[in-house]
Structure 1
Amino acid sequence: MRAAVFDRFGPADVLHVVHIPDPQPGPGEVRVRVLAAGVQPFDVAVRQGNMPWAKVEFPQTIGQEYAGVIDALGAGVRDLAVGDPVLGSTMLNGHAELVVVAAENVVRKPREVDFPTAAALVAAAQTAGGALLELGVGPGDVLLVHAAAGSVGTVATQLARLAGATVIGSASPENHDRVRRQGAVPVTYGPGLVSEVRELGLQPTVALDGAGAEAIAQSVQLGIAPERIGTVVDDKAAAEHGARVVRAGRDPKRLAHVIDLAAQGKVRMPVQAFPLADVVDAHRAVESRHSHGKVVLIVEP
């Protein structure tokens, strides 16, 4: 099979696509023929060598999110069949034509959700859904989402609106229309954010930070209680201000819930697609932090 690998830590161009042996499913596992695979900032950090706890052995495969079709079953798998469309999380091997995963962690893909969108939602759905649950976002809340145009911010905005909250979303000016379409009131990130939020006449009660830098300090300045400020990117600032790190763990049930909402048209995710052969460009797009939608590799048409 073809897979993206890297032989040393470094910039995006250390990545290349090679042929490696096909993986085989063991007991309780399934093999998925990957049609689309999401690219995360986590993938970039691993490739750069900035995730020392990640177990890397060169040549190292990469990728955490997949969507595709089951093409082989391991012993003991009863509730899934060859040909079933599925999606889910994996660990450092998703940017490949085939991936082997535990059957219990697989989520069925609804017909209404295409494969690129399914792959794009895997991590964002689990992270955003878990973060909002931990922060207790609900009716009457005014949620400030820092980096509302990012993948986690995109899903968090829509889930919060469905939960009855009002959402203010920070983004660059060119993404304000997109933030509006997600159901949030847009503001511009940067040093003027606090003043801009105050001018809206909406008092934020809770904040979710996907941007880092000054976002947590700005949330505190706006009068949000530190225990209701959560970050998925800035542990240091969270410790400094008494805010919370809300990196929710993987949960197939939480993912399945958001995918069901996507099938109903209640959650949407724009996608920026690259073929697997262009994995270097895909990583550069994520690294730029200015990609137009979730970056996804198309592994097969």
Structure 2
Amino acid sequence: MATAPGEPHEWQFVEYELPDPREGEITVRVRAAGVNPADAKHVASPRSGVEFPVAIGYEISGEIVAMGPDARIGSGEARVGDEIVAFRVSGGYAEAVTIPAEKAFRKPTTLSHAEAANLLLAGTTAAEMLWVTGVAPGETILLHGASGAVGVSVLQQAALRGVRVIGTASAARADVVRQFGGVPVEYGPGLADRVRELAGGAVAAALDAVGTDEAIDVSLELVHDRRRIVTIAAFGRAESEGIIAIAGSMPESARFRDEVRPDLIALAQSGDLVVPVAKTFPLAEAPAALELLAGGHAGGKVALIP
């Protein structure tokens, strides 16, 4: 946990005895914890409404080891031993954690624990980006950061809707964009012209998962309706330019992401939504896992294995 604002190498591992789950709660043995940039970002500096110490980790996959009275998970009835995935929890970097039962859903049997633990944060973010920009079948859209975790989920969800995606990526990551149904385009000078040529027509919406000035400037140049440009990273530019910004801490975003969880789990169960995992780390090496992720070249999701 983070005992004070700071970097991951300053966090501490704390041993404690978990109390029995209370009404509406379950205790989960964590088999894998998803690693996300937000894990470090949200405790890096003092923030309004955040009191330290803070338990780290927003999403997990594991199995139920205890249930409190009237505990019912988000996907229905459950019992001890059931495998679940949970998102928007607190303290996932742990061997076991007690959470509100409603935040847990049956784990897709098609996914490993490491994959399942990384399904929902990126997946719900991607779904919201498509939703707030009103992306429709037959449209062509621009996606900045297409080979990252959120980008790969956007690519898959857009393909299922019949949406064509032109996605920015480095030359080394272009094959990832193709693998998940997108048309890769290398970022850098002349990006807008390259996108126009590939689009062969109008670009209906722009989704920014990187937050660079280039991403915002090109989006503004190609998409005239600012209600169809969304960012998950460039919050200052969003405010000054009048485009959409979303984040899990925003009430509207939180509501949507909670509501869309069952849909994403169903897509994963059917094999229509996969989660590429690049590497797993032991729980004790959480700072190293976050360092790899922060470098921007992980090549897929990262998970901690207690």
- Normalized against structure 2, the TM-score is what? 0.90
Partner Cα distance (1:208, 1:106) in 2: 29
Instruction: Show structure 2 runs of 5+ residues with no match.
Output: 248-252
In structure 2, the residue matched to 1:257 is 263
Partner Cα distance (1:260, 1:64) in 2: 20
- Say whether residues 1:33 and 2:35 are aligned partners: no
Partner Cα distance (2:121, 2:262) in 1: 12
Residues matched between the structures, number: 293
In structure 2, the residue matched to 1:96 is 94
Partner Cα distance (1:121, 1:47) in 2: 22
2:187 partner amino acid: Y
Query: 1:281 offset after TM fit, Å?
Result: 0.6
Q: Deviations over 1:170-214 (max 9, x none)?
A: 112211101110100011223332122123143311111111122
Q: Deviations over 1:40-62 (max 9, x none)?
A: 11111123226x1352323x320
2:254 partner amino acid: G
Query: 1:161 offset after TM fit, Å?
Result: 1.0
Equivalent residue in structure 2 for 1:69, among 63, 69, 79: 63
2:263 partner amino acid: H
Q: Using a 3 Å threshold, how does the CA distance of structure 1 residues 201 and 264 change in structure 2: closer, same or farther?
A: same
Q: Deviations over 1:100-133 (max 9, x none)?
A: 2211221111222211111111201111112212
SS at match of 2:13: strand
Q: Using a 3 Å threshold, how does the CA distance of structure 1 residues 182 and 198 change in structure 2: closer, same or farther?
A: same
Contact kept? 1:34, 1:98, Cα under 8 Å: yes
SS at match of 1:120: coil
1:210 partner amino acid: A
Query: 1:90 offset after TM fit, Å?
Result: 3.4
In structure 2, the residue matched to 1:107 is 105
In structure 1, the residue matched to 2:290 is 283
1:100 partner amino acid: T
SS at match of 1:61: coil
1:208 partner amino acid: L
In structure 2, the residue matched to 1:242 is 242
Instruction: Show structure 1 runs of 5+ residues with no match.
Output: none
In structure 1, the residue matched to 2:221 is 221
- Normalized against structure 1, the TM-score is what? 0.91
Partner Cα distance (2:48, 2:20) in 1: 26
Query: 1:11 offset after TM fit, Å?
Result: 2.8
Q: Using a 3 Å threshold, how does the CA distance of structure 1 residues 138 and 221 change in structure 2: closer, same or farther?
A: same
Contact kept? 1:32, 1:71, Cα under 8 Å: yes
In structure 1, the residue matched to 2:41 is 45
Q: Using a 3 Å threshold, how does the CA distance of structure 1 residues 75 and 141 change in structure 2: closer, same or farther?
A: same
Contact kept? 2:2, 2:10, Cα under 8 Å: yes
Equivalent residue in structure 2 for 1:166, among 164, 179, 182: 164
In structure 2, the residue matched to 1:135 is 133
RMSD: 1.8
2:203 partner amino acid: P
Per mean C-alpha deviation after superposition, the further-off stretch among 28-37 and 74-83 is 74-83
Partner Cα distance (2:282, 2:85) in 1: 18
2:50 partner amino acid: K
Query: 1:224 offset after TM fit, Å?
Result: 4.0
In structure 1, the residue matched to 2:204 is 205
- Say whether residues 1:180 and 2:178 are aligned partners: yes
SS at match of 2:123: helix
In structure 1, the residue matched to 2:147 is 149
Contact kept? 1:146, 1:210, Cα under 8 Å: yes
- Report the identity percentage: 37
In structure 2, the residue matched to 1:57 is 52
